[in-house]
């Protein structure tokens, strides 16, 4: 009796196979649809290769995938943290509110962080756009067509993607790069941005020694011009003193004495300024400057992108996976069509 019960409870292999997917069945589906899978994969592979070749042959302005070049300029930044000094400089420059929103003006901020922030400011981006007429170059504004609603916003968005600033914390090197289809234009933009950034920090007073040096040069030049002016006046009056006219010599002599006194004062000021200037030059030579150009951008010989080989491989693999998926979908549809019960359900027949 127990033997009969065991025989009735045993499930047949046929029943277990109904709920399981066999690897042989999967292989059979792929083998049955092998022609379609191979055809789709080959068509995609040939198509993407032709597309890649055309992108190389066609000129950059009409190529769907032109070569891009990314020159780099290297600047060494003395990136010492300064909780009080840096914050004071940022606030004095008028960027305090915006910098605090970006986290640059906080305690422990660095010059490199401020440099990266400055590259992304609207004023800096707009200056670069206007200098190189990027609204026209990137066809944001086309002559004869109605301009877009926000040309400035569009130009800033494009420039932010192309102009990148990065800081290497270990070496202290700050890298500025720009990507464009024209390598010479990209080089010009990178070097200009580096010089512009350096000048912006000087104007903000980040490099105090450099700012003091420029102020001394201006004062020395102004003082020297004053000395030359007084010397010319002194010479003119010296000739007038020889005049025999009555009542003229005392007044001229008094004016000449005053000019000689002013001339002496200006000479003393000039001497002191020259001494300060030479001492500052010696001091600057012995200390590490905040900004120091390591390497200007060069015209790149090799493209930075796109990687057409990788694109061809990805498209071919994607087409192969899509063909396999399509084969299983078509097989499932064929099985449904062969099943009357399933077709009845689809038609709404009970």
Domain-embedded: residue 6: no
Residue 44: the pLDDT is: 94
Whether residues 195 and 113 fall in one domain: yes
List, in sequence order, the alpha helices (H) in the chain: 2-9, 13-18, 23-32, 34-57, 85-92, 96-101, 111-119, 122-131, 134-137, 151-162, 183-204, 208-241, 249-286, 308-338, 340-347
Whether residues 53 and 76 fall in one domain: no
Domain ends where: 168, 187, 206?
Answer: 206
Band of residue 318 on the pLDDT scale cut at 50, 70, 90: very high
Domain-embedded: residue 342: no
Greatest mean pLDDT range, 15-24, 199-208, 295-304, 340-349:
295-304
Q: Is 154's pLDDT higher than 50?
A: yes
Q: Is 69's pLDDT higher than 70?
A: yes
Average pLDDT over residues 103-111: 50
Name which of 187, 181, 159, 155 is nearest 68 in CA terms. 181
Residue 87: the pLDDT is: 47
Whether residues 262 and 319 fall in one domain: no
Whether residues 193 and 214 fall in one domain: no
Whether residues 317 and 200 fall in one domain: no
Band of residue 207 on the pLDDT scale cut at 50, 70, 90: low
Residue 13: the pLDDT is: 41
- Is residue 310 packed enough to be buried (19+ CB in 10 Å), middle (13-18) or exposed (0-12)? exposed
Q: Is 324's pLDDT higher than 90?
A: yes
Domain ends where: 191, 206, 221?
Answer: 206
pLDDT in tens, 210-234: 777 878 888 889 988 888 888 888 7
Whether residues 230 and 190 fall in one domain: no
Q: Is 18's pLDDT higher than 50?
A: no
Band of residue 7 on the pLDDT scale cut at 50, 70, 90: very low
For residues 271 and 289, give the distance between their C-alpha atoms in angstroms, rounded to a whole number: 26
Share of the chain above pLDDT 90, in %: 24
**Angular region, 94: left φ>0, alpha ψ -120 to 50, beta rest:** left
Whether residues 30 and 154 fall in one domain: no
Average pLDDT over residues 178-193: 93
Average pLDDT over residues 294-314: 90
- Provide the mean pLDDT of the chain: 78
Residue 275: the pLDDT is: 86
Residue 258: the pLDDT is: 81
Domain-embedded: residue 296: no
Q: Is 85's pLDDT higher than 70?
A: no
How many structural domains are present in the chain?
3
Q: Is 104's pLDDT higher than 50?
A: no
Domain ends where: 206, 239, 271?
Answer: 206
Band of residue 241 on the pLDDT scale cut at 50, 70, 90: low
Band of residue 256 on the pLDDT scale cut at 50, 70, 90: confident
Domain-embedded: residue 340: no
Domain range for 196: 72-206
Distances in whole angstroms, Cα of residue 17 to Cα of each of 14, 20, 30, 328: 5, 5, 20, 19
Whether residues 122 and 188 fall in one domain: yes
Domain-embedded: residue 256: yes
Q: Residue 148 in contact with residue 140, Cβ under 8 Å?
A: yes
Domain-embedded: residue 227: yes
Q: Is 329's pLDDT higher than 60?
A: yes
Whether residues 116 and 223 fall in one domain: no
Name which of 105, 110, 85, 96 is nearest 167 in CA terms. 110
Q: Is 237's pLDDT higher than 80?
A: no
Domain-embedded: residue 85: yes
Whether residues 145 and 194 fall in one domain: yes
Domain-embedded: residue 347: no
Residue 334: the pLDDT is: 86
Whether residues 113 and 148 fall in one domain: yes
Whether residues 83 and 182 fall in one domain: yes
Share of the chain above pLDDT 70, in %: 75
Residue 206: the pLDDT is: 59
| b/e 92-123 (16+ beta carbons within 10 angstroms → b) | ebebbeebeebebbeeebbbbbbbbbbbebee
Residue 189: the pLDDT is: 94
Band of residue 288 on the pLDDT scale cut at 50, 70, 90: low
């Amino acid at each position: 009796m127990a033997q009969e019960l065991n025989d009735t409870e045993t499930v047949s292999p046929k029943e277990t196979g109904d709920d399981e997917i066999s690897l042989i069945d999967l292989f059979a589906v792929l083998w049955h649809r092998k022609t379609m899978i191979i055809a789709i994969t080959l068509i995609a592979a040939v198509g993407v290769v032709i597309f890649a070749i055309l992108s190389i042959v066609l000129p950059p302005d009409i190529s769907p995938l032109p070569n891009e070049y990314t020159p780099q300029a290297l600047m060494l930044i003395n990136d010492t943290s300064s909780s009080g000094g840096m914050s004071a400089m940022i606030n004095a420059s008028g960027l305090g509110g915006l910098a605090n929103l970006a986290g640059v003006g906080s305690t422990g901020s660095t010059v490199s962080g401020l440099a990266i922030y400055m590259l992304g400011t609207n004023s800096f981006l707009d200056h670069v756009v206007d200098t190189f007429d990027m609204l026209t170059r990137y066809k944001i504004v086309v002559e004869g067509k109605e301009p877009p609603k926000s040309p400035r916003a569009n130009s800033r968005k494009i420039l932010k993607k192309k102009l990148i600033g990065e800081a290497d914390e270990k070496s202290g090197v700050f890298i500025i790069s720009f990507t464009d289809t024209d390598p010479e234009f990209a080089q010009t933009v990178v070097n200009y941005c580096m010089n512009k950034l350096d000048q912006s920090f000087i104007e903000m007073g980040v490099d105090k020694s450099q700012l003091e040096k420029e102020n001394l040069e201006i004062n020395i030049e102004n003082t020297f011009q004053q000395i030359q002016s007084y010397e010319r006046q002194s010479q003119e009056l010296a000739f007038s003193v020889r005049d025999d006219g009555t009542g003229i010599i005392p007044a001229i002599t008094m004016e000449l004495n005053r000019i000689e006194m002013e001339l002496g004062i200006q000479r003393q000021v000039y001497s002191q300024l020259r001494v300060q200037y030479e001492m500052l030059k010696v001091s600057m030579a012995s200390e590490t400057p905040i900004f120091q150009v390591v390497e200007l951008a060069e015209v790149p010989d090799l493209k930075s992108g796109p990687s057409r080989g990788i694109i061809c491989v990805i498209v071919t693999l994607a087409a192969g996976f899509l063909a396999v998926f399509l084969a299983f979908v078509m097989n499932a549809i064929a099985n449904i069509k062969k099943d009357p019960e399933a077709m009845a359900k689809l038609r709404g027949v009970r």
